[in-house]
Chains A and B, each alone.
Chain A
Amino acid sequence: MSTASSHSHTAAHEHAVDHHHEPGFWQSYIFSTDHKVIGIQYGLTSLAFLMFGFILVMCMRFQLAYPGKPIPVFGPLLEAILGDTAKGGIMSGDLYNSFGAMHGTIMVFLAIVPLAFGAFGNYVTPLQIGAPDMAFPRLNMASYHLYFWGGVLMLASFFVPGGSAKSGWTSYSPLATVAEFEKPFNGQTMWLIGMVILITSSLLGAVNFITTIIQLRARGMSWMRLPFFVWAQFVTGFLLLLAFPPLEAAGVLQLADNLLHTSFFLPNGLVVSGQQLAVSGGGSPLLWQHLFWFLGHPEVYVLILPAMGVVSEIVANNTRKPLWGYKSMVYAVMCIGFLSFIVWAHHMYLTGMGTKVSTFFQTTTMMISIPSVMILTALFVSLWGGSIRFNTPMLFALAFLPMFGIGGLTGLPLGFNASDIYLHDSYYVIGHFHYVVAPGTIFALLAGVYFWFPKMTGRYMNETLGKIHFWLSLIGMNLVFAPMFIQGMKGMSRRMADGGTTYFGADDIAVKLNISITHAGILLGVAQIPFIINLFMSIYNGKKVEGDNPWSATTLDWATPTPPPHGNFASEPVVYRGPYEYSVPGSKSDFLPQDKKP
């Protein structure tokens, strides 16, 4: 049998399969294997978790600003749902710890990563490389459903006796094990099981993304013609693939500590409430931290790389210029991917792991700032001399640059051993990483929502509401996070349920700043209302797009029908040029799509 004849035979067979069924509601929207539907499922679920995580932290912020006062609106609700732990609508210390741990977990693992990787990665990556779908559509569906049920389990953990996990999103041992040693099935156990499910979900996603990008690129789509967004997703996929399993291993070991009473992370002679704990001992608390941060640091780049990818697309499109230094950016993102695996212990300078080890990680940490600055610089230089279109996606993308810049630069003192010992575990750290993730990554992702919304629905989002959303968010974000640097440098420690009153006294400026931060947080929350209205109203009432390529963009995602049907492309796309051929001298239009015949 010749290959040619067998090929034509199967092609005809598949053609027949393509047409014989009309999927119903469950198959189209819930158990869909279409990457676009799964992308939107991820998007809506993760935005809901984003809001939930924000509400958790607003309850905590109220407690910080007004310790011991009943929380308005949410207080009675909490008392009704959670009982004595929120008696009289007042947040107890236990509840504060529980909300703190869950805010971190939800924001990182259930909101930002699924939004950046699951939603945008799923929707945009196959379109941009000219693929009909992901390489493994059913795995893709399984990945979303595991994520969803992992999230449900995390939420359910609020209701087990004793409440949810409350040992921080980092779940440091031995605290995480001994907190409720007598009741092995507690919130922490649920957290661990939930994490194992979420890790499995992201593992399936990562395998799928990398395979798709390697195997399903359209004809002519060589590696250096990939849009930067795809490169960012590709490296992110490797980070998730290789960094998450050690946390899974750590999770299994901590689960054994909780349920089987092993001592992997419990040292000898551990005394809890004046009694020696009845375990064999001989374990190492430091081991947990190593395993956790081996994931934890690449995770930071999982949060930021897709954001950089989104911003690159929007900046190139709205400056009508090629990205400056595209190739250097690609090499930089690969360097970040590699280096992110050897910087983890800069989270552990204070554990006494030794000065030699600290010096090593201090050096690698400084090294990784170089490729990050390269990407940021390339994006800044790309703006130079462009006739910039200041639409809402571009405003968010532009704000990302300095906001991420502040986040990155304030990280340097934390990367140095000497200065970190002072700043460790203070509000300075909180300010630093929130600048990276909140006005950094979240702004980039919001920019992505405004940018790709016309492709998903065939309608623009409202520009006026978008601009209100942008300016209020920008002001709110900075008023929330900038004062935290001052609090941190004054020595205010994180994880204090009374906002530092017992430590500083109520009249200290660091404590008073809590009040202004909380009010700015409320402003930030209010600023999201126009966005929510805009998102849902524009599906039906937004201005219709003029064509399939409303932003006059060059990449393949805009070469599809709007919204893209099952199978994405009307005919097989062929790529003739690089991703950002804007304002090419001598060309009639100011952009040359990748699939336009020369």
Chain B
Amino acid sequence: MEIPYTYKPRPDTGLYNAKVGIWLFLASEIMLFGALFSSYILLRVQAPMGQWPTVAGAWPTGLLNIPIGTFNTAVLITSSVTVVLAWAALKMNNFKAFRRYMVVTLVCAFGFLGIKSYEYNEKFTHYELRLKSGESFTGHIEVNGKHAGFWDFGSIYNLARLEKDQVSEIKFTADPPKPKAGEKHASAAAHAHEVKTIKREDIVWLDAFIPRNHTFFGIYFVITALHGLHVLGGALVLGYFAFPGSSMWKRNPEQFANRIEVAGLFWHFVDLVWIFLFPVVYLL
């Protein structure tokens, strides 16, 4: 006996096996991200006041790049549309169109990851600094002529690290203050880009916008990284189906279309997570 309903739907459920499987898998994924979103809510609601002097209230907001985030949302939604078009092309027996739409999907997927790593890099080079005088700033630092970079975790500094490396002073470029409501952008920019030299003894706290700095960054990086892994995994599967795995189209077109449908369902889920993620961490 062979395993039935591997690609033909079972008459009474109307589903083939893989479709039941992927929906169950997505249910479990919802519980995974649901738990992380719940953790986000709980951490935010009970966050103690005064952890971040540069930000009013208990929870830092407005530190993420909203225009880039919006653009990335659009990129991911586009890929979700093209993956449906790819499946529809298969159903209309048009393999060329399928391949074209899959390529667009893949370009969007890797585009999303590329933009995300640019955003990560922005955070890893961005610092929060508190001084003994009570002043606090956000901005960029230069230590011994070095900036921190995405691939260079060794140059992310905090106070303990400065002490260990016996760095006596750092160069600090503070961010321009946020324009107040009604104020023109240009006047705010006028204060910017003044490089200060700051002695180590004056520093109370120094850290980049990395997970250990604040639970906000912790949860932001954990959820977005986990989401990024899902994007990467989905892109690899779609890439496999678009190129080496597409030989199945000749052997069993129905099963191949099913595979695209199932992979597409996962891809929509990944998209959906981002659609929740974007407003929750960027906008709220």
How far apart are the CA atoms of A278 and B164 in the complex, in Å?
15
Of B41-49, B174-182, B193-201, B233-241, the stretch lying at the interface with chain A is: B41-49
How far apart are the CA atoms of A206 and B23 in the complex, in Å?
12
B168 at interface by CB-CB < 8 Å: no
Residue of A nearest to B22 (CB): A207
B65 at interface by CB-CB < 8 Å: no
- Chain B contact residues: helix, strand, loop or mixed: helix
How far apart are the CA atoms of A364 and B127 in the complex, in Å?
48
Contact size class for A? 35 or more
A133 at interface by CB-CB < 8 Å: yes
Task: Name the distance in Å between B212's Cβ and chain A's nearest Cβ.
Answer: 4
Q: Which residues of B contact A243 (CB under 8 A)?
A: 31
A366 at interface by CB-CB < 8 Å: no
How far apart are the CA atoms of A568 and B4 in the complex, in Å?
13
**Known contacts being A216-B3, A246-B31, A253-B222, is A263 close to B10, with CB within 8 Å?**
no
**Known contacts being A268-B48, A284-B43, is A211 close to B24, with CB within 8 Å?**
yes
Interchain CB contact under 8 A, B39 and A262: no
B78 at interface by CB-CB < 8 Å: no
A498 at interface by CB-CB < 8 Å: no
Task: Name the distance in Å between B193's Cβ and chain A's nearest Cβ.
Answer: 28
A77 at interface by CB-CB < 8 Å: no
Interchain CB contact under 8 A, B17 and A210: no
- Contact with B39, one of A131, A207, A287 (Cβ below 8 angstroms): A287
Interchain CB contact under 8 A, A246 and B32: yes
How far apart are the CA atoms of A249 and B33 in the complex, in Å?
8
Q: Which residues of A contact B8 (CB under 8 A)?
A: 7
**Known contacts being A568-B1, A569-B1, is A280 close to B215, with CB within 8 Å?**
yes
Interchain CB contact under 8 A, A264 and B35: no
Residue of B nearest to A243 (CB): B31
Question: Which residues of A, 210-251, contact B by the 8 Å Cβ criterion?
Answer: 210-211, 214-216, 241-246, 248-250
B115 at interface by CB-CB < 8 Å: no
Q: Which residues of B contact A214 (CB under 8 A)?
A: 13, 20
A10 at interface by CB-CB < 8 Å: yes
B51 at interface by CB-CB < 8 Å: yes
Interchain CB contact under 8 A, B51 and A245: no
Residue of B nearest to A565 (CB): B1
How far apart are the CA atoms of A138 and B76 in the complex, in Å?
31
Q: Which residues of A contact B214 (CB under 8 A)?
A: 280, 282
Interchain CB contact under 8 A, B17 and A135: yes
B36 at interface by CB-CB < 8 Å: yes
- Chain B residues near A (Cβ < 8 Å): 1-5, 8, 10, 13, 15-18, 20-21, 24-25, 27-29, 31-36, 39, 42-43, 46-48, 51, 160, 207, 210-215, 218-219, 222, 226, 252, 254
23 intermolecular pairs with C-beta atoms under 8 Å apart: A18-B2, A135-B21, A137-B3, A207-B25, A210-B20, A211-B17, A211-B21, A211-B24, A214-B13, A214-B20, A215-B15, A242-B28, A244-B28, A245-B34, A248-B32, A249-B32, A253-B39, A262-B212, A262-B215, A264-B215, A282-B43, A282-B215, A283-B215
